[in-house]
Chain A
Amino acid sequence: MQLFPCPFCGPRSESEFHFGGDFGNLRPEGSDVSASEWSAYLHLRANPKGSSSEVWMHMTCGELFRMDRNTVDNTVNSSAELEDTHR
């Protein structure tokens, strides 16, 4: 059982979290998004071996945050609040 650090609640058991996708997989915007661009957004995943930046949701507080962790040894390097991009 892994311990994930929610930036708002501190270290909590992994069962309280939900994976939200790769960090930086931005939604293509606009009216002329190509099929391949949209398909890459929906389906193409980096699936890195080693360090990985991800978005997770802490289900008990409802907050999304960024977590950087290592997919080989499962160490968590950091977690941080998401920046408000639509202010």
Chain B
Amino acid sequence: MTSFRIGRQGEPAPAKTIRFSFDGKDVTGLEGDTIASALLANDIAIVGRSFKYHRPRGVWGAGVEEPNAIVDIDMPSAVRNARATTTPALDGMVVRSVNAHPTAATDRHAFLDRFARFIPSAFYYKTFMWPDWHWFEPNIRKMAGLGILDPTAISVERADQVNEECDLLVIGGGPAGLFAARTASEKGKKVIICDDGFHFGGSLLHRQANIDGGDGPAWIAATLNVLRDRGVQLLARTTAFGLYDHGLVALNEIRPGKASSRLWRVRPTNVLLATGAIERPLPFANNDLPGVMSAEAGLSYLRRHGIAVGRRVVLATNNGVGVETSRELADAGIEVTLVDYRSGRRLMVAEGSKRVAGVKLSDGTRVAADAVLVSGGFTPTLHLFGQAKGKLRWDDDLLTFVAGDPVPRLSAGGAAAGSFGLTGVFESTARALASFGLTPRAMPKIVGRDTDYGIVAAWPEPNMSGRVWIDLQHDVTTKDIELAARENFVSVEHLKRYTTLGMATDQGKTSNLNGLALMAQLTEKAIPEVGTTTYRPPFTPVPFTSLAGVTSGSLMNPPRRLVLENEHFAAGANLREYGGWLRPAWYGAEPEATAINREVRQARDSVALFDASPLGKIEVLGPQAAEFMDFVYYNTMSTLKAGRCRYGFMLSESGIVYDDGVLVRLEENRFIVSCSSSHVPGVYALLEEWRQDRFDRKRLFIHNTTADTATLTVSGPKSRALLEAVGLGIDLGDKNLPHMATAWGSFGDDTVRISRVSFTGDRSYEISIRADRAKHLWKTLRRRGEAFNATLLGLEALMVLRAEKGFIVIGKDSDGMTRPMDLGASAPLAKKTAEFIGKRSLFTEEAQRPDRNQLVGLEVVDGTQPFAIGSHGVESTPAGKRSLGYVTSSYFSATLNRPIALGLIERGAARHGEEIDVQHLGQIRRARLVPPCVFDPSGDRLNG
């Protein structure tokens, strides 16, 4: 082959020259080139190595169907496995071939090809089974693969995402699509038209035509002007890659000069598929040699880029469109030898090493050639029709699948509807538009008759001599399909997975039908009986950046932020995420463990300030509120007096503990559900669900005030003294505000709610205030606190304080099996008469089983190291070791100066005093089972 640039007829002005590198070689192109057209213009025949055998491969096509010309781009931005046929060539680009070591032209793994007969389908899996596939996999993966990912090359440019709707989405901007958009827009419809090429026009950009008195380009320009005037949205370089539920169509738009694409989510009323058709290869020996190309692509490179793919071209075809292509090439002055299968002569072998040098025909004649263009017929592009669950129908005249029974709101026109001549293209488009109730004002006037497609069968056949390639990207030959048939992988889905036919990045756009046709012959079936594989999105690969949009990096799952975050930062807080909230873990520059121990000691000795704002504050109001609270809590809540608080569990209907927390009864008909911070959305949904299911919506209301209100906790022996120094406008004495009471106070002009509840075991006050006024209260607490040796308390130290008291964290000290009785709360089950969520489940055999895992304290018997969380209690039995449950919480307690732990252990509540083995990573330690509370068990400090 000697491809070269001959220039385009009637080109107005010479295009600007661009330079880029391919495998380290300088390449010169023109502005408007694709990478593939520039490589052809420089007579670079080998653009890549095949996936499995490392065969040299050249450019096959000129569009999205390309199986061979897959490249990695390093500059200007990293793109992996880009199709050279659809990627614009840019000045300064750095391009590499894929799967070639070191370059496509000189690949050191090419020796694999000489062993090809020893590497049939599934060879790797069958051969490298022993001793373990995973020993061999890394090297095999390195040899067989495509682009190399660079994990450090992270795109900093986030992709745009656009949501849009329209009356008609036209997919494909060739003659059919442009005509459809024009027709719909003249009826005043809102129309979007997209095309995956740089320019609208489709086949009219390279085939000669006379429409409405002008040539193709003139008709394109006139039509585009009309569309622009009517406000039609024109999206070039945009691929409709997926059709999803409820009529959602996803488009990916490549934007010049941008590293990221733009994702469109379009909800059209109707979709017109004007997606054209893809040319099939012909089966003959060595049909993968560089220089063997799609005839349509050869014509496209000539007319769009002014490139002749060879000086002496053989054009082999089994259809009239291919014959027309040879005529157009000859008109441009290229020497063409036509091999027309319809007159009986066939192409048998392509000859040459590394690139094609000639062909041998069925009548024995040899023809020298530097390019072989082939047209094995056209396959309508119906991927989106398939994705819409449309069924394909075999057409005996066209020898291909076409759209079968119509799918609502979706129609195909043009080549996608099996019309391969211009008159037919417009007629089938008009029929498709009619199904949407749209009639064109006038049909385009065509001069000249449509080419007679007149295709004859030229399928791959069993026992063809030589190596006849079906899937160029995945190196599947006729022999692989024959092997699959012999081994009984005859179902189309098995065939695909066994041979990997159609599984490459091109998804078999050029190969699937030829593969099915061969399998049909091998199994003596008709092609439609073999069937097709399922069409799934995406039609072409879509960058993950497009799909992610802005939801990546720090916006992937944004944490909730405290209103006092800046105050915490200023105080040296180290923030971590807890249950979706970014919260102070500990304060100060000391090492984590030192800081936590200091905070714990100060909290026990003097007073601690803690930001508890994420704590749930869901208000329940109305005359049915008390009855409702009885139903949603395990504990009886209706007996709670106004101004008092009660601790309780919420269960799921399965009787599993879902949440715990304090319920505040502010007034007769007003409660505040103070659920755990991470459960607020879940508890809110649970409350709404039961409210709407079994209560009077006009007499019961739920309002989530969690985000409106900040809660600051003051805990420790000096907490009351500190608050009296601050001044909250009420008597904080134990008589007026005892433990588990709540009252209104004030801070400056603001009303605050003060609850005496404790998660530390020390006297504690939770002060709730309007979130936007919390800063002043926090600053005042800190300033006044200095005199009391107050500490700021992070969440880690709070976890130690609560574990010393045996206070649990649901989801940490409980699991998906834990019932309230397992946590020591059996009284409500025995006493409560009112119905509540999960009640019946607590009376099942499983819930009443005596050998359940129960909450227990675990004292370290052997030394001073805390147990690892997740360590299992174990016991030896004749059958081997058996788990007795596990450690759920484990800390070093600065208060007790020794390690402490909580766990869920079999029959634990009844076994206090016993010792058990605790196992972690093969190491056995000893633990004594003790009550969960190991500090101030009498609770004196609550009032201390």
Contact = CB atoms under 8 A, between A and B. Distances in A.
Nearest to A34: B840
Contacts of A33: 840
Contacts of B265: 1
Interface stretch (B139-147, B324-332, B691-699): B691-699
Interface in B635-680: 653-654
B688 interface: yes
Most A C-beta atoms less than 10 A away, residue of B654, B695, B840, B841: B840
Nearest to A41: B653
Contacts of B835: 29
A29 B697 CA distance: 20
Interface residues of B, number: 24
B693 A3 contact: no
A82 interface: yes
B245 A64 contact: no
A62 B246 contact: no
Nearest to B846: A35
Nearest to A11: B246
B692 A74 contact: no
Interface string A1-17: 11100000000000000
A34 to B, nearest CB: 10
Contact of A64 (B244, B653, B689, B696): B689
Nearest to A74: B245
A57 B684 CA distance: 12
A45 interface: no
A42 interface: yes
14 contacts: A20-B689, A28-B840, A33-B840, A38-B840, A42-B653, A57-B688, A59-B685, A62-B688, A64-B692, A74-B246, A82-B693, A85-B694, A86-B695, A87-B696
Contacts of B695: 86
A74 B693 CA distance: 26
Nearest to B844: A35
A82 B692 contact: yes
A1 B840 contact: no
A38 B693 CA distance: 18
B389 A38 contact: no
Contacts of A1: 244-246, 248, 265
Pick from A2, A29, A42 the residue with the most CB of B within 10 Å.
Answer: A42
Nearest to A26: B693
A33 to B, nearest CB: 5
Interface residues of A, number: 26
Nearest to B692: A64
Nearest to B389: A73
Nearest to B702: A62
Given A29-B835, A86-B696, 7 more contacts: A1-B245, A3-B246, A27-B694, A64-B692, A73-B389, A82-B692, A85-B694
Interface in B822-850: 835, 840-841, 844-845
A86 B688 contact: no
Contacts of A28: 840
Contacts of B692: 63-64, 82
A57 B693 CA distance: 12
A57 B697 contact: no
A19 B697 CA distance: 21
Contacts of B389: 73
Nearest to B693: A64
A63 B692 CA distance: 8
Interface in B677-715: 684-685, 688-689, 692-697
Interface in B240-276: 244-246, 248, 265, 267
Nearest to B838: A42
Given A20-B689, A28-B840, A64-B693, A42 B246 contact: no
Contacts of B693: 27, 64, 82, 85
Interface of B: 244-246, 248, 265, 267, 389, 653-654, 684-685, 688-689, 692-697, 835, 840-841, 844-845
Nearest to A86: B694
Contacts of A42: 653-654, 841
Contacts of A82: 692-693
A63 B697 CA distance: 11
A62 B686 CA distance: 10
A42 B841 CA distance: 9
Contacts, number: 52
A84 B246 contact: no
A63 to B, nearest CB: 7
Contacts of B841: 38, 42
Contact of A57 (B248, B653, B654, B685): B685
A10 B561 CA distance: 31
Contact of B697 (A18, A27, A84): A84
A1 B389 CA distance: 16
Top 8 A-B residue pairs of the complex, sorted by shortest distance between their CB atoms = A2-B245, A38-B840, A74-B245, A64-B692, A3-B246, A2-B246, A62-B688, A86-B694
B651 to A, nearest CB: 12
Question: For A2, A62, A64, A84, which residue has the most chain B Cβ atoms within 10 angstroms?
Answer: A62
B680 to A, nearest CB: 13
Nearest to B681: A59
A29 B267 CA distance: 45
Contacts of A73: 389
A66 to B, nearest CB: 12
Contacts of A27: 653, 693-694
Contacts of A59: 685
A41 B838 CA distance: 12
B604 to A, nearest CB: 42
Contacts of A3: 246, 267
A46 to B, nearest CB: 18
Contacts of B694: 27, 85-86
A17 to B, nearest CB: 11
A12 B426 CA distance: 38
Given A38-B840, A42-B841, A64 B246 contact: no
Interface in A41-85: 41-42, 57, 59, 62-64, 73-74, 76, 82, 84-85
B407 to A, nearest CB: 11
Nearest to A1: B248
Contacts of B653: 27, 41-42
Nearest to A43: B654
A41 to B, nearest CB: 8
Contacts of B688: 57, 62, 64
A18 B685 contact: yes
Contacts of A63: 692
A24 B487 CA distance: 51
A3 B684 CA distance: 24
A84 B693 CA distance: 8
B704 to A, nearest CB: 9
Most central of B245, B389, B653, B654 by chain A CB within 10 Å: B245
Contacts of B654: 42
A44 to B, nearest CB: 13
A53 to B, nearest CB: 16
B696 A84 contact: yes
B271 to A, nearest CB: 16
Contacts of B840: 28, 33, 38
Nearest to A21: B689
A61 to B, nearest CB: 10
A57 B689 contact: yes
Nearest to A33: B840
A35 B697 CA distance: 31
Contacts of A86: 694-696
Contacts of A18: 685
A82 B691 CA distance: 12
Contacts of B685: 18, 57, 59, 62
A32 B927 CA distance: 43
A18 B267 CA distance: 23
A57 B689 CA distance: 8
A63 B265 CA distance: 27
B28 to A, nearest CB: 46
A42 B837 CA distance: 12
Nearest to A28: B840
